[in-house]
Structure 1
Amino acid sequence: MTLSTQFYTMLAMVGMGSWLGAALDTYGRFLQRPKRARWLVFINDIFFWALQGLLFFYSLLMVNEGEFRVYILLAVLCGFAAYQSLIKKIYLWILEKAIQITIQTYRLFLKIGRILLINPVYWIFQMIFLLILGILKFLWNILIWLFKFVFSFVKILLKPLVLIGKLLVFLIPKSWRNRITQIYKKIAGFLIKRKNVLDKLSSWYTRLWKKK
């Protein structure tokens, strides 16, 4: 190994030592060990150190074809110590700022997406829903009006018959008269009940529409 190769190896390992310090701080910042399960921390640690080992070996392979010397460990320790004493505070500050900017950018895009995509879709569905309710209310009012009209029309048509029936009732035997009276009361009661039910449904639907 030539002197220039050894020099480049030393520089590379010092850089890798600083990289290791920054990687440890970044890993600890995102992992947040107290909030994670132990088995998850253990698995993440294995992957982290395996990745760091591969990076160190790749650096050695690129610089001196993978030859290992004792001074390489010293160079790594020097780089790590230099990071801890000179770069760590600055790096952590930059890391926090980058995280905050990323989070704010993410929230901004979410807000823009909500304004441009979600809110218009919500308004469209709300308008469609209100339109359907309006159509249903209109049809319901027409149905109620038709029923009341038919009911009133039937009452008008039956009124002469009722008068004639009252005149003829005296000519009918008493047993038949009682039977006809019972049938008439049943029919009248049935129609009145149906009218009351429709009135209740109409008032309930009107209250529901006002709430909407």
Structure 2
Amino acid sequence: MTLSMQWLTMAVMLLSGLGMGTVFDGYRVVTNELRFPRWWLPVLDVIYWIAAGLIVFRVLYASNNGEVRAYVFIGLAIGIVIYYFLLSRFVIAIVKWMIGAVRKLIGFILKCLEILVVKPILLLYKVLMVIFAFGSALTIFILKIVIQLVRPFWKLFVWMAGPATRPLGRWLSRYASKWQLNEKASRLGQQIARLWGKWFRR
């Protein structure tokens, strides 16, 4: 392997070290800000190191066909050290700012949805309920007035139809007593009452 290839591989490993440090700080800040459970941290660490190892090996394979030499580890170490001494605080601050910006954006979207969608729907529901209640009250009031107006005519009709309906009533009463319609109606009412209590009063 030529010297230039070795220096190129070392530079690539230095950049890989910078990237590893950036990703590590980023996911640590995210887990702290989002309050992940403590037991998740070891699992995430294992996943991070497996992913980092695979990516670094893939980069190494692309740069020098996967040959592992001392300068590979030196480049990684230099990249990690440079990151933690020069860039770590800056990256952490950027990640925190991005998380805060995303939270504010989500809060703004939810507030807009509440103002433009939820509150109009609630207002429409309240208006419809008021209209329905007013309509029901008005309907009941009108029905009461109609009943009061019709009652004298109904009494007059019953009084006028009395002579014609009395013979019919006596004729029906004879058949009712003959077929025991009263007893059958009473038994039917009791059965309906038992079924009602069985089905709806548990």
**TM-score normalised to structure 1 length:** 0.64
1:112-166 Cα distance to aligned partner (Å, 9 max, x none): 2222222222223332222222221211222233344455x37986xxxxxxxxx
Q: Please report the RMSD computed on the Cα atoms of aligned residues, expressed in angstroms.
A: 2.8
Rounded to whole Å, the distance in 1 between the matches of 2:117 and 2:35 is 38
2:70 maps to a residue whose letter is: V
1:139 maps to a residue whose letter is: T
1:120 maps to a residue whose letter is: P
**Aligned equivalent of 2:115:** 115
Q: 2:17–2:77: 8 Å Cα contact kept in structure 1? A: yes
**Aligned equivalent of 1:56:** 56
The structural deviation recorded for 1:56 is 0.7
Are residues 80 and 122 of structure 1, via their aligned partners in 2, closer, same or farther at CA, if it must alter by over 3 Å? same
2:111 maps to a residue whose letter is: K
**Aligned equivalent of 2:45:** 45
**Aligned equivalent of 1:23:** 23
- Structure 1 unpaired stretches of 5+: 158-212
Q: How does 1:79-118 map to 2 (within 5 A)?
A: 79-118=79-118
Are residues 89 and 41 of structure 1, via their aligned partners in 2, closer, same or farther at CA, if it must alter by over 3 Å? closer
Are residues 16 and 100 of structure 1, via their aligned partners in 2, closer, same or farther at CA, if it must alter by over 3 Å? same
Are residues 34 and 149 of structure 1, via their aligned partners in 2, closer, same or farther at CA, if it must alter by over 3 Å? closer
The structural deviation recorded for 1:85 is 0.8
Rounded to whole Å, the distance in 1 between the matches of 2:141 and 2:46 is 72
1:82 maps to a residue whose letter is: I
SS at match of 1:68: coil
**Aligned equivalent of 1:73:** 73
Rounded to whole Å, the distance in 2 between the matches of 1:121 and 1:17 is 54
1:47-88 Cα distance to aligned partner (Å, 9 max, x none): 222211121112112211222112211211111111111111
**Aligned equivalent of 1:160:** none
Q: 2:29–2:92: 8 Å Cα contact kept in structure 1? A: no
Rounded to whole Å, the distance in 2 between the matches of 1:67 and 1:125 is 71
- Structure 2 unpaired stretches of 5+: 157-202
1:151-209 Cα distance to aligned partner (Å, 9 max, x none): 5x37986xxxxxxxxxxxxxxxxxxxxxxxxxxxxxxxxxxxxxxxxxxxxxxxxxxxx
Counting aligned pairs with the same residue, the percent is 24
Rounded to whole Å, the distance in 2 between the matches of 1:50 and 1:80 is 17
Tell me the number of residue pairs that the alignment of Structure 1 and Structure 2 aligns: 158
SS at match of 1:47: helix
Rounded to whole Å, the distance in 2 between the matches of 1:81 and 1:31 is 23
SS at match of 1:31: helix
Are residues 53 and 88 of structure 1, via their aligned partners in 2, closer, same or farther at CA, if it must alter by over 3 Å? same
1:8-61 Cα distance to aligned partner (Å, 9 max, x none): 1111111111111111111111223985142x3333222222211121112112
Are residues 126 and 20 of structure 1, via their aligned partners in 2, closer, same or farther at CA, if it must alter by over 3 Å? same
